[in-house]
Amino acid sequence: METKRTSIKQYSKKITISEVSCDISHLTSQDIPIYPRNPSPKFESILNIEKDGVNVSRITLGTHTGTHVDSQNHFLTNGIGIEREPLSKFIGQAMVLDFSKKTIGDGINSNDLNYYSSVARSNDIILLYTGVSNYWNHSYMDRIGKKFTYLEPSAADWIVKHKIKSIGIDTFSVEKYGSKKAITHKRLLSAGVGIIENLNSNLKKFVGKRVFLVCLPLALKGLDASPARAVIFDILD
Ligand SMILES: [Zn+2]
Q: What is the pLDDT of residues 108-120, one digit of tens each?
A: 999 999 999 999 9
Domain membership of residue 214 as a residue range:
5-28+63-235
Domain membership of residue 39 (yes or no) is: no
Model pLDDT, residue 10:
43
pLDDT in tens, 154-174: 999 999 999 999 999 999 999
Query: Could you read off the pLDDT of 24-40 as tens digits, one per residue?
Result: 999 999 999 999 999 99
CATH number of the domain residue 15 falls in: 3.50.30.50
Q: What is the mean pLDDT of residues 90-95?
A: 97
Q: Give how many domains the chain has, as a whole number.
A: 1
Region 187-204: what's the mean pLDDT? 98
Quote the ligand 1 centre to 155 CA distance (angstroms): 17
Residue 50 lies in a domain: no
Asked if residue 58 is part of any domain, the answer here is: no
Residue 147, pLDDT above cutoff 50: yes
Residue 19 burial by CB count (10 A; 0-12/13-18/19+): exposed, middle or buried?
exposed
* Mean pLDDT along residues 136-152: 92
Cα separation, 64 vs 226, in Å, equals 6
Distance 200 CA to ligand 1 centre (A): 15
pLDDT at position 4: 52
Between strands 42-47 and 107-108, the pairing is unpaired
Q: Is the pLDDT of residue 210 over 50?
A: yes
Quote the ligand 1 centre to 75 CA distance (angstroms): 10
- How many helices (H) and strands (E) the chain has is answered by 5, 12
What's the whole-number mean pLDDT along residues 231-236?
96
**Greater model confidence, 7 or 226:** 226
User: Residue 12's pLDDT is what?
Assistant: 63
Mean pLDDT, rounded, of the chain: 94
pTM above 0.95, yes or no: no
In the reported structure, the alpha carbon of residue 70 is separated from the centroid of ligand 1 by a whole-number distance in angstroms of: 5
Nearest alpha carbon to residue 90 among 233, 236, 237, 228: 228
pLDDT given at position 13: 75
Residue 162 covered by a domain:
yes
Distance 65 CA to ligand 1 centre (A): 8
* pLDDT at residue 33, as a whole number: 96
Residues near ion ligand 1 (CB < 5 Å) are 64, 70, 197, 225
Cα–Cα distance for residue pair 226/75, rounded to 1 Å: 14
Measure CA 182 to chain center. Answer: 17
Is residue 229 within 8 A of residue 220, CB to CB? The reply is no
Name the residue with higher pLDDT: 225 or 141. 225
Query: How many angstroms does the Cα of residue 212 sit away from the middle of ligand 1?
Result: 22
Whether 172 is in a domain gets the answer yes
3-class secondary structure, 9: coil
pLDDT at 208 over 90: yes
214 part of a folded domain: yes
| DSSP output for 54-67 | S-EEEEE--TTSSS
* pLDDT recorded at residue 138: 80
* Domain membership flag for residue 179: yes
In a domain, 89, yes or no: yes
171-177 contacts, C-beta under 8 A, 24 or more apart: 171/130, 171/132, 171/133, 171/144, 171/197, 171/198, 172/35, 172/148, 172/197, 172/198, 173/35, 173/148, 173/197, 174/150, 175/150, 175/151, 176/107, 176/150, 176/152, 177/36, 177/146, 177/147, 177/148, 177/150
